[in-house]
Amino acid sequence: MIWGNHGVKRHMCGRYVSGDMTWQQYHDWLTGDAAPPPPEVEQSRHWNIPPTAMAPIAIIANGTRRMVMARWGLVPAWWQKPLSEMRFSTFNARSEQAAAKPFFRDAMKHAHCLVPALGYYEWQGPKEARQPWYIRADTNQPGLCFAGLWSRVKLADFQGYTFSILTRDATPPIAHLHQRQPVMLDAEAYQGWLAGEALETLPQIAPERLRFHKVAKAVGSIRNDGPELIEAVAA
């Protein structure tokens, strides 16, 4: 495990980028419907999203695709204690193990979501000199979507949606950056994943479409947020 600034545990995938897409643009891309009024809970991070932040996800509710704001870090629907008492890291779930894990197995059965993103960050190197990288994919879509799991909870100190991002073993050309990577779905897989199909039956973004470059170490602090964080720096 790698610990980032302010006690944020940074392991795959621990920071990602959604960019400055509007609520209507999310709907144009992922639901095809006119956007309803923006949710009361607004997204505060766009270029350096850490665990526990609120971010948009796409789900199926009552047979219809919809966008909702959700807290990154899945709280299982059966959890009844205050959120402050949950001591487990749930912002990632290993795709090959999630169906057997108590915190994720119910969501793996019937609560799949899409997590829209432009890309994500990964760190490489010794602790005293970690180099951040920005990883994205070539696509004719507005961005890419991670395969995720979601829940809706009503707790003493939190009410609303939560989500986790599924991960898998990393593949070239990015396996040398980290041994794990988020599950990045091909656009043809979106409906199947939301409908509950098994991950192994769905196409994912081909490795040759992945692109990555070094970025400034400023991304290491969650205080920093802006489009300059994804800009390439000299090797």
CATH number, residue 147 = 3.90.1680.10
Q: What value does the mean pLDDT take over residues 195-203?
A: 96
User: Do the domain assignments include residue 200?
Assistant: yes
pLDDT at 10 over 70: no
User: Do the domain assignments include residue 110?
Assistant: yes
User: Do the domain assignments include residue 50?
Assistant: yes
User: Do the domain assignments include residue 20?
Assistant: yes
User: Do the domain assignments include residue 188?
Assistant: yes
Say what the pLDDT of residue 12 is.
59
User: Do the domain assignments include residue 87?
Assistant: yes
Confidence of residue 125 (pLDDT cuts 50, 70, 90): confident
Calculate the average pLDDT of the chain: 92
Say what the pLDDT of residue 5 is.
31
- pLDDT per position as a tens digit, 139-169: 999 999 999 999 999 999 999 999 999 999 9
Say what the pLDDT of residue 3 is.
28
Q: Which domain holds residue 209?
A: 2-230
pLDDT at 32 over 80: yes
User: Do the domain assignments include residue 235?
Assistant: no
Measured between alpha carbons, how far is residue 228 from residues 19, 22, 118, 143, 196 in Å? Answer: 11, 19, 14, 18, 37
Confidence of residue 128 (pLDDT cuts 50, 70, 90): confident
Q: What value does the mean pLDDT take over residues 52-60?
A: 97
**Structural domains counted in the chain:** 1
User: Do the domain assignments include residue 154?
Assistant: yes
- Nearby residues of 205 by Cβ (< 8 Å), 6 or more positions away: 137, 139, 144, 184, 185, 186
